[in-house]
Amino acid sequence: MSSTVAAPSKTAPAGGAKGQPSGDNRYKMLEATMKRHQYAADSLIEVLHTAQELFGFLEVDLLLHVAHSLRVPPSRVYGVATFYHFFSLKPKGDHTVVICMGTACYVKGASQVVAAIEALGGIKAGETTPDGRVSLMTARCIGACGIAPAVVLDGNITGKQTAGAVVDHVKGWLGNGS
Amino acid sequence: MDLNDLLEIAEKENASAKPIRLRCCTAAGCLSQQGDAVKNALQQAVADADMSDRVEIVGVGCMGLCSAGPLVKIDPDGALFEQVQPEQCASIIASLNGGGPAEASVGSDDIPFFSKQHPIVLENSGRINPERIESYIAAGGYQALFHSLREMAPTDVVEEISKSGLRGRGGAGFPTGLKWATVAKMKAERKYIVCNADEGDPGAFMDRSVLESDPHRVLEGMAIAAYAVGATQGFVYVRGEYPLAISRLKTAIQQARRMGLLGTQIFESPFDFRVDLRIGAGAFVCGEETALLRSIEGQRGTPRPRPPFPAQSGLWGYPTLINNVETFANIAPIVSKGSEWFSAIGTEKSKGTKVFALAGKITNTGLIEVPMGTPLRTIVEEMGGGVPNGQVKAVQTGGPSGGCIPAAHLDTPVDYESLAKLGSIMGSGGMIVMDQSDNMVGVAKFFMEFCMDESCGKCVPCRAGTAQIHKILTKVTDGRATSADLENLRSLCEMVKSASLCGLGQSAPNPVLSTLRYYPDEYQACIDGGAAAEASA
Ligand SMILES: Cc1cc2nc3c(=O)[nH]c(=O)nc-3n(C[C@H](O)[C@H](O)[C@H](O)COP(=O)(O)O)c2cc1C
Ligand code: SF4
Ligand code: FES
Ligand code: FES
């Protein structure tokens, strides 16, 4: 796993503050969260949520840092980080498209939307395009079943989607450098 | 804070309401269809027309008919606008001033979708502003908590819930009063209350909507429960996929704390109760109670054998009461109106109402709340408006743990026992309607893939069994299966059902078994006729 995890981060600072907690504001914010939870081992999931929010994904160094701070074995931190789907040990693309594959969206044709984006980006669900532009993910219901099929484009939930409309949107991301 | 203070807040809130109120849905369904732009445009239009003295725009929770959103409802005259666009807002406001009819599509709330409902859990949804505690108090909120703390002994509260006949809404239908009594009887220095808001059934969004539309109702239910069983700390475990519900809950907890409705010496009584949030991280199995408790403790969410039940030994080994969001949302009305009122609703064994999330191939998608025992046909055909340009083929209830009910059984009353008899379950309330274009083997495979992915891997029958079942189903849909495979499929399903450790594995075969039972021809056709189309969507 180390090869995938060690891939250069999109969100880590160019200056390489990695491993130098004092030089990076995000470490300070992470520290504040841990402090608020009194460095309790049972706050591990809360802390990982914050870490992922700040850093975009959970690099091994970051997991070690958390393990050290909360005084829990690195194996447990790694075990928790890999158990929950929410946590990502790999960097995400500049843009993300999350296609809901819950039951309501499935019966309304979500698999065709997935297939269309997979074909467009030349990737499978869960992967990022080689140029790092777009990550494609699937979800198990985001609670917008009333407007299925639902697709989340860079964090914005959109409903009643079609393969064509989502393809057009993602083409825009792939096409220009914004 | 006492009852008079509550009443005073309510009075002030009601007095400050303007003569004309436009209720704007700001729950997730409408927000993802530009609902916030609509609300802003309405506000702007009111300001532009210089009508702020008599017109106000109120953000409310889900009104139920999410597929027609964004919804805007005018009080008191009652017009309901559907699919409102920001450009139409000026004309809506002008119409209030005699400016001719609004250029927006007008819906009706006099359709079966609304008129056949019996709102208890959802009575405030779409009516009050979920981000203002005053709005909840004006609707009578927190009076049930006051009544419990100041006028009832904890045992009276447990007794009242027991007599009401309320059963858990999280899926299994366990009698709520009995669970409370078990926790109340435990002698321990500490006890916990947990609200299960993990809502994992894909296609169900009742709990999400309740939390987004009326979060205080859930907090009040938890506080009453805490008083009844003797707990002082509560947790709400919410799915990470529900950011809006999380933010509204956070706001609600802060507001309640500030008013002294959570925290120490609530209503100037010796009762203390604190509530914290725990955010899930995307694992379906964490909806299972023992896995959920592990997850709150910061561990991998793997279930453990019961007994001991959480009521005996839960969080950090202390007695823990765990109930679903909708279960807690029923508590305040039962305490206020009495168990007899509640038990008069519903059927003999299934009391009260149930909220269902209607989705799939159905005209009106959204949330409804009906008395237990309402025929499935009433829900799907009358209220839901049936399948657009088609026929109902099946209704899926209970998600990955449930089954498909064929159209021939649409007259079945919806209650715990009747659905179980048909090989499905009530589940948490997801109802997905399927039509002739849906291939049932494909549907079974879809759910098995879900269970295979979500199996925590702790026990072999589920970890390996779901993968094997999925493999056979793939063979079937690819047209490579033989009759012997179908036999294997059946026996594998029985094995996984009986040998798995937790409810996930035990119920994972249900969608396969129920489609084998009602749609054997579709399986047979795959075998006879070669490759069947993948589940057409
Ligand atoms: C795999 C699995 C998933 C579950 N998911 C949920 C869920 O999302 N929400 C819920 O309230 N209960 C869920 N349950 C049921 C809980 O274990 C538990 O019975 C319930 O929270 C008890 O609350 P109630 O008595 O109020 O229904 C699930 C059970 C299993 C086996
Ligand atoms: S039945 Fe499945 S989900 Fe449940 S404990 Fe076993 S492997 Fe885990
Ligand atoms: S199934 Fe897609 S949002 Fe619920
Ligand atoms: S989300 Fe607006 S009506 Fe349901």
Amino acid A143: pLDDT: 80
Give the pLDDT of residue A21.
52
Q: B284-297, pLDDT tens digit by residue?
A: 999 999 999 999 99
pLDDT value for A9? 40
**Does pLDDT of B535 surpass 50?**
no
- Mean pLDDT for B258-271 is 96
Residue B178 Cβ < 6 Å to ligand 1 = no
CATH of residue B28's domain is 3.40.30.10
What number does the ligand 1 atom closest to the CA of B507 have?
31
Residues 6 or more apart whose Cβ sits within 8 Å of residue B304: B290, B294
Mean pLDDT of A40-66: 96
Residue nearest to atom 2 of ligand 1 (CA): B288
pLDDT category, A176, cuts 50, 70, 90?
low
Give contacts of A 9-38 with B, CB under 8 A. none
Give the tens place of pLDDT for each residue, A7-39. 334 444 433 344 455 568 999 999 999 999 999
Residue B501 lies in a domain: yes
Beta partners for B276?
B235
Q: Do A144 and B279 touch (CB under 8 A)?
A: no
Residues of B in contact with A88 (CB under 8 A): none
Q: Find chain B residues with C-beta within 8 A of A87's C-beta.
A: 281
| Cα gap A107→A170, rounded to integer Å | 23
Q: How far is B117 from chain A (nearest CA, A)?
A: 18
pLDDT of residue B528: 80
Distance CA A151, CA A117 (A): 12
Specify if B376 maps to a domain.
yes
- Looking at A11-154, which runs of residues are DSSP E strands? 95-100, 134-139, 151-153
Domains of chain A: 25-83 (no CATH), 95-174 (3.40.30.10)
When the pLDDT of each residue in chain A is averaged and rounded to a whole number, the result is 87
Q: Are B267 and B338 part of one and the same domain? A: yes
Question: Closest chain B residue to A43 measured between Cα atoms?
Answer: B298
Residue ending a domain, among B284, B318, B342, is B342
Indicate whether B374 and B421 sit together in one domain.
Answer: yes
Same domain assignment for residues B224 and B336: yes
Q: How far is the CA of A102 from the centre of ligand 1 (A)?
A: 18
Is the CB of B119 inside a 6 Å radius of any atom of ligand 3?
A: no
Q: Which of B241, B281, B298 faces A143 most closely, judged by CB atoms?
A: B241
At B379-397, the pLDDT tens digits run 999 999 999 999 999 999 9
Residue B320, beta-bridge partner list: B192
Q: Please give the Cα distance from A95 to A169 (Å, whole number).
A: 11
Residues B322 and B199 in one domain: yes
The token pair that represents B28 in the structure block:
């997730």
- Examine the fold and report which residue of B287, B310, B342 is the final residue of a domain before the chain moves on: B342
Count the neighbouring beta carbons within 10 Å of the beta carbon of residue A64. Answer: 14
User: Which of the listed residues B342, B365, B396 is the one where a domain comes to its end?
Assistant: B342
Q: Determine, yes or no, domain membership for B248.
A: yes
* Predicted local distance difference test score (pLDDT) of residue B179: 98
How far is B219 from B96, CA to CA, in rounded Å?
Answer: 37
B381 and B332 in a common domain: no
Look at residue B54 and tell me if it is in a domain: yes
Shared domain check, B226 and B161 = yes
Mutate to test the pocket of ligand 4, among B38, B60, B71 (most ligand atoms within 8 A of CB): B71
The answer, yes or no, to whether residue B120 has pLDDT greater than 60, is yes
Residue B400 to residue B511: CA distance in whole angstroms: 7
Instruction: Label residue B58 left, alpha or beta by phi (over 0 means left) and psi (-120 to 50 means alpha).
Output: beta
What is d(CA A161, CA B340) in angstroms, rounded to the nearest whole number? Answer: 46
Atom of ligand 3 nearest to the CA of B202: 1
Residues B489, B423 share a domain: no
Does B519 lie at the interface with A, CB-CB under 8 angstroms? Answer: no
- pTM of the full structure: 0.94
Tell me the pLDDT of chain B averaged across its residues.
95
Residue B134's pLDDT band, with cuts at 50, 70 and 90, is: very high
Please tell me the distance from the alpha carbon of residue A117 to that of residue A171, in angstroms, as a whole number: 9
- At B418-429, the pLDDT tens digits run 999 999 999 999
Please identify, by atom number, the ligand 2 atom nearest to the C-alpha of residue B303.
Answer: 5
Chain A neighbours among B 47-76 (CB < 8 Å)? 66-67, 69
Searching chain B, which residue's CA lies closest to the CA of residue A77?
B299
Per-position b or e across B225-240, b if 16+ CB within 10 A of its CB: bbbbbbbebbbbbbbb
User: Model ipTM?
Assistant: 0.89
| Residue B459 lies in domain | 440-536
Q: Is B235 on the interface with A (CB under 8 A)?
A: no
Interface A:B, Cβ pairs < 8 A: 145
Structural domains counted in chain B: 4
Q: Is residue B237 part of a domain?
A: yes
Q: Chain B window 431-450: which residues touch A at a Cβ cutoff of 8 Å?
A: 432, 434, 438, 443, 446-447, 450
Query: With an 8 Å Cβ cutoff, is B360 touching chain A?
Result: yes
Short-list B536, B514, B509, B537, CA closest to B405: B514
What is the band of B181 on the pLDDT scale with cuts at 50, 70, 90? very high
Alpha carbons A93 and A117: distance in angstroms, whole number? 14
Average pLDDT value for residue range B45-49: 95
A160 lines ligand 3 (CB under 6 A): no
Contact (Cβ atoms closer than 8 angstroms) between residue B217 and residue B128 = no
Note whether B486 and B337 are same-domain residues: no
Chain A residues within 8 A of B314 when measuring between CB atoms: none
Nearest atom of ligand 1 to the alpha carbon of B198? 8
**Same domain as B100, residue B48:** yes
B500 CA from centroid of ligand 2 (Å): 6
Q: Contact A146/B367, CB-based, under 8 Å?
A: yes
CB atoms within 10 A of CB B321: 27
Pocket test for ligand 2, best of B286, B294, B304, B462 (most atoms within 8 A of CB): B462
Cβ neighbors of B269 (< 8 A, separation 6 or more) are B149, B150
Same-domain pairing of B264 and B184: yes
Q: Sort out which chain A residues have CB atoms less than 8 A from B427's CB and list them.
A: none
User: Does residue B130 belong to any structural domain of this protein?
Assistant: no
What's the pLDDT tens digit per position in B223-253? Answer: 999 999 999 999 999 999 999 999 999 999 9
Q: What does the alpha-carbon distance between residue A170 and residue A154 come to, in Å, rounded to a whole number? A: 10
**pLDDT for the residue numbered A22:** 57
